[in-house]
Amino acid sequence: MQRRLATKSKMSSKRPSAGKTTIYDIARSTGASPSTVSAALSGTWRSRRIKESTALEIQRLAEEQGYTTNMQARGLRKARSGLVGMVLPAHFNRFFSSMSQIFESHVRARGMCPVVVSTLRDPAEERRTVETLISYAVDSLFIVGATDPDSLSDICAAVNLKHVNVDLPGRKAPSVISNNYNGARQLTREILTSMPRSSDPLRAKAYFIGGAQWDFATAERIRAFKDVIAEERGENADDLIRARSYNPDASATDVRELCEQVGGLPTGLFINSAFAFEGVLKYFSTLPPEAFNNIVVGCYDYDPFASFMHFPVIMVRQNVDRLIAEAFRIIESDVHGAPCLQIEPELIRPRTLSDSPGETFRAGPGSERGEGSRKTRAKKHKPREEAR
């Protein structure tokens, strides 16, 4: 202890009261040894046969002196950090930000600290970010919508890091995704049935806009779109698809070109994401109000405001609550291989405010801890999911 004492006195001469108090400080003021203090404060004191009165006294003093554990030291020693990582494409998006929100509440319920980082769909950035999180020793990792989940899985596997893919599946780790095919089928059907009639054969069709062909989710939705068009209209939908990228500007261009080609707004539009929808709106803002009299838009994403547009907008809301809940279930059980759980999304008709995931945590302080109720409510929705 001689060493410690010397150190501490040097410290205190350098930073009067700036440094946080440590177990050594508390050890000195209680007369106990640092290990006893550690035991008393980390909750292991019972199993380490520390007298209750000693433990309580130490806890009292620690509280009084405003002690908090130095997580870096603990993490270094225990080789875990209490951090749970999540990488996602972007924050500035209702789908992804609801992910972080719900993720956060789960993590906090477990007494850990969330670290959510976005990577802007840049594979290199994704890898760098995962490496950074690993260097902070995150205890597990949620990989949301990664462009290249498998290469991230490799990085994680190298350090034995438990991880799960969400929203986009990988082949090297368990995944929890939306049932994009079913969702898109429903959306396409609904668009077709609610599309206004048009005498113009080109405008009378439904078109698909946005997303990237290489993207699994987009591919699934396109497949569903084609299938439904074939079933209901007996047509081939190849020419009705414009899926270049997730970039809103690309979608703006796509929809402009589409309109020039068909000579006006088509009466039905399947927009592949809120991102794309924003791009489409950018083009829409150049059109006169009358242009929107005879259209119906479907958007594969949910946004309460988008649902109240000045034209009918059918939306698909992914069940973020369940996606995250299942992801946690997987992380916490030891799942082998790379199963893929599909969660059913929900169709939201125009001008509807669905119970957004926000409801759960915006209800008020403290309510976000109500894990039980959330799960219960989620179950009510559509309990059918399939592993493949």
Partner DNA sequence: CGCCCATGCACAATCGATGTAGCAATCTGA
Partner DNA sequence: TCAGATTGCTACATCGATTGTGCATGGGCG
Nearer to its own copies, 51 or 91 (CB): 91
Nearer to its own copies, 54 or 294 (CB): 294
Q: Which of 383, 318, 324 is nearest to 346 (CA)?
A: 318
Distance in angstroms (rounded) separating the CA atoms of residues 31 and 202: 86
DSSP string of 154-223, one letter each residue: HHHHHTT--EEEESS--SSS-EEEE-HHHHHHHHHHHHHHHPPP-SSTTTTSEEEE-S-TTSHHHHHHHH
Residues 6 or more apart in contact with residue 149 via CB below 8 angstroms? 143, 165, 168, 169, 170, 172, 173, 175
Residues 306-325 that bind DNA (CB under 7 A): none
31 contacts DNA (rule: CB under 7 A) = yes
**Token couple for 272:** 């592949």
Dihedral sign of CA atoms 32, 33, 35, 37 in order? positive
Q: Do β-strands 346-348 and 313-317 pair in parallel, antiparallel, or remain unpaired?
A: antiparallel
Among positions 16, 17, 18, 79, the unique one binding DNA when judged by CB under 7 A: 79
81 contacts DNA (rule: CB under 7 A) = no
Least distance to DNA from the beta carbon of 159, Å? 11
Nearer to its own copies, 34 or 75 (CB): 75
Least distance to DNA from the beta carbon of 10, Å? 7
Among positions 59, 69, 354, 356, the unique one binding DNA when judged by CB under 7 A: 69
Choose the one of its own copies, DNA, none that binds residue 281, judging by a C-beta under 5 to 8 angstroms depending on kind. Answer: its own copies
Among positions 33, 236, 261, 293, the unique one binding DNA when judged by CB under 7 A: 33
Distance in angstroms (rounded) separating the CA atoms of residues 212 and 169: 15
Nearer to DNA, 131 or 235 (CB): 131
3 contacts DNA (rule: CB under 7 A) = yes
82 contacts DNA (rule: CB under 7 A) = no
378 contacts DNA (rule: CB under 7 A) = no
Distance in angstroms (rounded) separating the CA atoms of residues 34 and 28: 8
Nearer to DNA, 66 or 288 (CB): 66
Among positions 12, 65, 70, 373, the unique one binding DNA when judged by CB under 7 A: 70
Distance in angstroms (rounded) separating the CA atoms of residues 61 and 234: 77
Positions touching DNA (CB under 7 A) are 1, 3-4, 6-8, 10-11, 19-20, 22-24, 31-36, 38-39, 41-42, 44, 48-51, 54, 67, 69-70, 73-74, 76-79
